[in-house]
Amino acid sequence: MRVGRSDGRTVGLIVLAALFGPTVRLSAQTDSRLIEALRLAQSGQVDSGRAIVRRLLATLLPGDSVFPQALLAAAKIAPDAQTVASNLNRIVVEYGAGPWADDALLLLTELYFAQRDPVQTVQAAERLNRDYPDSPLRPRANFSAARAYFELKNEARGCELIQNALDGAGEDVEFKNQVSFYSARCSPKSTATTTTTSTPTSSDTSAKVPPPPPAAHAYAIQVLAVKSAAHVDDMLTRLKVMGFDARVVRDSTGFFKVRVGRYATREEAQRAQARLKQKVGGQPFVVDEP
């Protein structure tokens, strides 16, 4: 049975401390050997803590209920982000029905956000929302996912998750203040700001307010449109390796769209389209972007 949530400073050991900050709250470890390993790591004896966890993982059978908890401890004191992700993903994939999967998904969300990977950030958070709707960790994951959605230019979904994080902040004043800072961008604009001009009251009826300057217009190349964040990540990696300026946008239908460049003229975009078709294949096409 899961015990109470521990303070984030206990969880934020070594790699996770640098990545996730002091406010993450996860389930406390329940096995005395793992508690001792984490205590040693927290006190500066990192190698000793890792050694305990390694020996435990070597002796436990994968079906042992302590095994996923040991993987979580290993992630908390791992020497690098790749090892953190490997251990956490194993918990999610192999022990998804257990009590530690939502902890692992929260830490994955925070890890990917710290690595500035918005696509994987929202993928981990949305899986937590979908598979563990009753988890008290959702507000934390959704706060990171909301900021990732803002990077992906999906303001609507980002604001939904900001509201979820705010609703779940409870009595945590520090966390609530962090979320509130971002919630300001989701507030309806004041009507006063939209009334920028008024009908001239001067007797000179020829006075007119000059029209606003036309909005800048650009063209981009759409290379991919899918609902799988994993496919998006693969394509982004390929494009960036080839030297293309690639990014992700997401529309109201939920599709992730991989696009390249912002070109001033359609002719420039068409030349880029030809290069992309030659190097990447598929059916890239020109799209208008405001």
Average pLDDT of the chain, as a whole number? 79
Contact 106, 137 (CB under 8 A): yes
CA distance 124 to 43: 31
What 30-35 contacts at long range (C-beta under 8 Å, 24+ apart), as own/partner pairs, is 30/2, 30/3, 30/69, 31/66, 31/69, 31/70, 34/66, 34/69, 34/70, 34/73
Q: Reply yes or no on whether the pLDDT at 246 is more than 60.
A: yes
Q: Tell me which residue of 152, 155, 107 sits closest to 128, measured CA to CA.
A: 107
pLDDT of residue 27: 57
**Across-strand partners of 176?**
none
The predicted-structure confidence for 77-127, as pLDDT tens digits, reads as follows 888 888 999 999 999 999 999 999 999 999 999 889 888 899 999 999 999
Segment 28-37 shows an average pLDDT of 84
pTM above 0.85, yes or no: no
SS3 263: strand
The predicted-structure confidence for 63-77, as pLDDT tens digits, reads as follows 999 999 999 999 988
